[in-house]
Amino acid sequence: MDTQVTDGFADMHVSEKEPPVQPVNHVGSDKHGTTDQEEESNGKQPITRSKSADFIIPGCHRNKLPGAMLRRDQFSLWTVLKQCIGKELSKITMPVVFNEPMSFLQRMSEYVEHAQLLIKADSTEDPVDRMKYVAAFVLSAGASNLDRLSKPFNPLLGETFELIREDLDLKMVLEQVSHHPPVSAFHCHCPSFEFHGSIYPKLKFWGKSLEIAPKGLLTIKLNKHDETYTWNNPSSCVHNLIVGRLWIEMYGIVNIINHKTGHKCSLDMKQAGWFGKDIHKVEGYISDRRGNKKCKLFGKWVEYLYAMDPDQFDQAQSSEKQERRNSRSVTSSPKPEKGSLPRGYQPIYNWAKVPPQLEEDWCINPDGPEFQHAELLWRNVPRPDNSAQYYNFTLFAMRVNELSESMKKHIAPTDSRLRPDIRHLENADVDSASDEKHRLEEKQRAVRKQRHKSKETWSPVWFYLGSHPHTGDQDIWTYKGGYWDRNYSHCPDIF
């Protein structure tokens, strides 16, 4: 089977130096949810979360992909990546079997799976409460990355993707605005907010692990309050490229700034550390303009986020530590084998299988009874039972590449849903996917060569390059407008 195609990873600096990869331990928390109405009747505070059927994408209803994910037993990712020492990944041939049937533009559209948090933020009067929900949205945007270890297809120059959510009156358009370096820009709007930015994914290969640093400034505007928030995404790392099962973590400091009120939220997404005591953990504070800490945030980026008064949190944390010392003896744990998964690591939470007698624990903070007064801002939703068969996709992800007959009549001819290589891989036809991917890349090279020969300059159709009005950052891609007029006569022929 010929599955070798030229795969354009983002620009990547390769180093032979390997940072320490620590053995880790993770204990998953399985919970199953009640409805907000049930919580109110039980005297519990309603929480803001998505349910698996809450989002409505017109024409998209499927609960599985046409074809299951192919087995990769005969393929070794390390066999390919070991060629990358001292080289850029953009020059390396990759088997298409390591892709997921989705463009990076479509992967970026998953940012808005939990966009109801921004609507909640815009409807809230207290600036600290607004920051709580903005922070919850920022955290939730990475939740779908858990165990998503297949690489999305690199967008072609000029490729676009549109997303409509009727349940939120939300529209989102994305475009690949640059090829070298690869930059993807997006603009999302609904009556409550605007969300826009661009991503340039830079990768570093450390021999045993792959670090992804998504460069780019992201911006939210809450319309009712005329407030602008900005932040940069955290880094990610895929471990065990040589031996063992692949696993992913996200880490780094995320600073969210409200440019109108001066409030700031600093989230510390922790690395797993020795024996995994900090696997997936997030902690941070919301501070006012003078630097006074107004709220403590804590949780796990894969699962939930809580808010609490800082003094109450410190007291609760001290009580919990004392309770642990009193209730159990400290024993040493054997060090996991090199290259193994984090001990106790549960890759995907499936709260739908929790026994009925434990359902009431949904609103119980898993960090201990001392935190019962913490406010639950966001809780992730279960993935479908068949998720592992379909690239560990969420239900939202399974639907973003769905193409109905009505869509074909109005989407742009550059939309990712029309890419034949992605469609073939979605149907589990790897040979056709490889052939089409190669054809598309050769066509793109020929167009680029002709443009260079005629000294033409590429200009994106829907975005232009400018500066950020609040931060002064340059290289900010701004939406021109006009996409939703449905006039696509000036779109390039890329497929």
Taking only the tens place, the pLDDT of each residue in 183-234 is: 999 999 999 999 999 999 888 777 778 888 889 999 999 999 999 999 999 9
Distance between CA atoms of 106 and 400, rounded to whole angstroms?
7
- pLDDT digits 0-9 by tens, 366-424: 667 778 889 999 999 999 999 999 999 999 999 999 999 999 999 999 999 999 999 99
Q: What is the pLDDT of residue 446?
A: 95
The residues near 314 (Cβ < 8 Å, ≥ 6 apart) are none
Helix (H) or strand (E) holding 267: strand 264-269
Q: What is the pLDDT of residue 358?
A: 39
Q: Are 195 and 478 in contact (CB under 8 A)?
A: no
Q: What is the pLDDT of residue 93?
A: 59
- What the block records as the tokens of 374 is 């913490």
Q: Tokens 């089409």 belong to which residue? A: 436
- pLDDT digits 0-9 by tens, 291-311: 999 999 999 999 999 999 999
* CA-closest candidate to residue 85, choices 150, 19, 12: 12
Q: What is the pLDDT of residue 400?
A: 96
Distance between CA atoms of 270 and 13, rounded to whole angstroms?
23
Helix (H) or strand (E) holding 282: strand 281-287
Q: What are the DSSP E strand ranges found in 117-259?
A: 151-153, 160-165, 170-178, 183-189, 193-205, 210-215, 217-222, 227-232, 235-239, 247-258
- What the block records as the tokens of 145 is 């990355």
Mean pLDDT over each residue of the chain, to the nearest integer: 82
Residue 264: is its pLDDT beyond 90? Answer: yes
Q: What is the mean pLDDT of residues 237-265?
A: 90
Indicate the pLDDT class of residue 338, thresholds 50, 70 and 90: low
Backbone angles phi, psi at 326, to 5 degrees: -80, -25
